[in-house]
Amino acid sequence: MFRAVGSFPHDAGARALYEGTLGWIMSDAQYNLDRLNILVLDDNRNMRVLIKSILFALGVRKLHGAHDVKQAFRDIQYFHADIVITDWHMEPLNGLDFVHMVRSDENSPNPYVPIIMLTGHTELPRVCEARDAGVNEFLAKPISAKALYSRLASIIEHPRPFIRTKTYFGPCRRRRNLGAPRGMKERRADELEKPGNKSPRGSYA
Amino acid sequence: MSDRPDVQIIKPLNTLLKAKTGSGRVTPDLEAIERAEEAIKTIGDDFANWAQSDLDELDKALAAARTNPDRQEDYITQIFRRAMELKGQGGSFGYDLISQVGESLKISTETRSEANPRDVETIAAHVDAMRVVMVDDIKGDGGDVGRAIVDGLYKLTTGS
């Protein structure tokens, strides 16, 4: 018997088959990381070897290593990086300088490229400093394969809008949607409560 | 006066979707992660040589800091940078204790521009501890030996 499109099977066997098929379809997504260009910037050769080896094993094939900020900024002009992984501590320019250059320099080929910052500094003020420079993800050293994979997945799955203000340009720094401040009414509430002013949601906030 | 609003929200094209096939939720590729962990183990065979080189450089910087007090800031900066590298790499290869001692050395040297004789000996104790870890090939947290090392260094750095 054929069912109408959109109807739901009611007998248990058909339902299990339906849900099983749906589950199969929904979990069929995979990553083909060989489609991505990833730039690795670290002044320490051993760290570059480690990061590139992890990425290669995860399936990334188009990898480019750079050992200083100037070289990396030159290289991204022709190596069209989809993701940048950079160390923080480098000289004379450091990872934060590189983030500023990528986000704001007029010669930057892609100010929106996702950037993962690697660092041995895990103190909160440092994390905030990296975030405020326009970093997408933060990865503390020592790194692991799982941690690097999870940052890549986060960047692919949860792209964040970019925000431009007078003092900041970079991915939205809000990581969670917390809703309205607890216990406070909507800021526009006073305005909405005026007679004749109706909330766009159809009720007064 | 510019017409640009104070806050602009821009949604760039998500070019990374080319890395995704199929639709819906992606389950983590455990095989790929396992392959990556194996790759780390393979490189880990070289870590002993890398660490040896870093420890030799630490010894040189320490000797220079002892004999050239006028340039101590430069040498302490060098020591700090080596400490950061050892901290950053040790744990990736299973040498968690190297990362712990590296973190302690990093904290001891991060904001310091000069070192009195006691500070120099504290740095030396960290270098010696890391050498012991590598010579004895102590992996993980090092159990009782590891705890004794970390506690000893903590007492030295805090003066308690």
Do residues A170 and A162 make contact, with C-beta atoms less than 8 angstroms apart? yes
CB within 8 A of B86, min separation 6: which ones? B51, B54, B55, B98, B99, B101, B102, B105, B130
Q: Which of A30, A50, A56 comes nearest B21 by C-beta?
A: A30
Tell me: the pLDDT tens digits for B97-108?
999 999 999 988
Give helix A45-57 / helix A145-157 axis angle, nearest 10°: 70
pLDDT value of position B15: 81
Best residue of A24, A54, A163, A167 to probe chain B, by most B CBs closer than 10 Å: A54
Q: Which of residues 91-120 of B touch A (CB under 8 A)?
A: 91-92, 99, 102-103, 106
**CA angle (A158, A162, A166) in 5-degree steps:** 155
Q: Which of B15, B40, B99 comes nearest A82 by C-beta?
A: B15
Question: Chain A to chain B, count of Cβ pairs less than 8 Å apart?
Answer: 149
Best residue of A141, A149, A162 to probe chain B, by most B CBs closer than 10 Å: A141
d(CA B86, CA A75): 28
Backbone angles phi, psi at A31, to 5 degrees: -100, 135
d(CA B158, CA B144): 21
Query: Are the Cβ atoms of B32 and A59 closer than 8 angstroms?
Result: yes
Tell me: the pLDDT tens digits for A159-199?
899 999 999 999 998 876 555 555 555 555 555 555 555 44
Q: Output the CA–CA distances (angstroms, integers) from residue B94 to A36, A57, A87, A144, A146, in the order listed.
A: 29, 18, 21, 10, 14
pLDDT value of position A122: 82
Backbone angles phi, psi at A174, to 5 degrees: -80, 120
Query: Are the Cβ atoms of B32 and A58 closer than 8 angstroms?
Result: yes
Question: Does residue B13 surpass a pLDDT of 60?
Answer: yes
Question: Does residue A53 surpass a pLDDT of 60?
Answer: yes
Q: Which of A136-140, B51-55, B65-69, B93-97 has the lowest mean pLDDT?
A: B65-69
The minimum CA-CA distance between B145 and chain A, rounded to whole Å, is: 21
